[in-house]
Amino acid sequence: GNSVTQMEGPVTLSEEAFLTINCTYTATGYPSLFWYVQYPGEGLQLLLKATKADDKGSNKGFEATYRKETTSFHLEKGSVQVSDSAVYFCALIKNTGNQFYFGTGTSLTVIP
């Protein structure tokens, strides 16, 4: 079946620290991969996406590379800010379907 597994949280980092949130997936075919972010009190919003192997999605200093060989899409940021505190969700959609599969979310807190 199709599924997304992401690292357990919560994650607490100091400002300017390096961030990695791991995400691996199981899917048939060639899915598209996404990271969504949910800031406190808000709905989910798209952070970045990648649609084929070796693509790198990037936005707001965050990056993730679609690694088919390791079925991974890890989220990274070189220097986090307090404003990055949120819950991050990894997700996929199959290339032949309409169903989105989400991970359980990873809560990030950045302290000054």
Binding positions for another protein, rule: CB under 8 A: 31-32, 34, 36, 42-46, 49, 51-52, 89, 93-105
Based on the number of CB atoms within 10 Å of its own CB, is 22 exposed (0-12), middle (13-18) or buried (19 or more)? middle
CA dist., res. 28 & res. 38, Å (int): 27
Q: Which is nearer to another protein, 17 or 58 (CB)?
A: 58
Please report how close the Cβ of residue 16 comes to another protein at its closest, in angstroms. 29
Q: Which is nearer to another protein, 43 or 112 (CB)?
A: 43
Please report how close the Cβ of residue 26 comes to another protein at its closest, in angstroms. 15
Please report how close the Cβ of residue 44 comes to another protein at its closest, in angstroms. 4
Please, are residues 63 and 57 in contact by the beta-carbon 8 Å criterion?
yes
